[in-house]
Amino acid sequence: MTIDYATGERLLEAYGQAWASFDGDAWVALFTEDAAYHGDPFSAPLVGDLALRRFLVESAETQEQVEFTVERHWVSGDTVLAAFHAGYIQRATRAPVRFAGFMTLDVAPDGRIARLHEWWMARPSSTPGPEGDR
């Protein structure tokens, strides 16, 4: 499947909206049932609806005021590549967390994400507490 630039943009906007609102149904609907979410290149991916929903629920417990902005994106065949920056406030410490990164989304023929890889770097915070717990 080949997707176009506008379709890639809509998918990224939906990703940011689902994360910021912690809408589990919208979040899971973005991914195929057996999708793999690689949020850490050194750990096993999250795989499937239940793992993805649990990830969002755990994020909602620790994050608020989420902001996700795509700086630029590209589309090649069935892959969307995006440079982004994001941030949130940690619920426990009220510390702001800011980070910038890059993601690739492999899109299935039905338009949902089959595989997502993220690489990001957090800006150090002057407030004590865990950083980059996304």
The pTM of the full predicted model, rounded to 2 decimals, is 0.88
Tell whether 44 is covered by a domain.
Answer: yes
Tell whether 133 is covered by a domain.
Answer: no
- For the stretch 51-95, pLDDT in tens is 999 999 999 999 999 999 999 999 999 999 999 999 999 999 999
Tell whether 129 is covered by a domain.
Answer: no
CA dist 97 → 8, 39, 54, 77 (Å): 26, 16, 21, 33
CATH number at residue 60: 3.10.450.50
Tell whether 111 is covered by a domain.
Answer: yes
- Provide the residue range defining the domain that includes 14: 5-122
* Domain count across the chain: 1
Tell whether 87 is covered by a domain.
Answer: yes
What is the reported pLDDT for 131? 40
Return the bridge partners of 63, or none. 90
Tell whether 131 is covered by a domain.
Answer: no
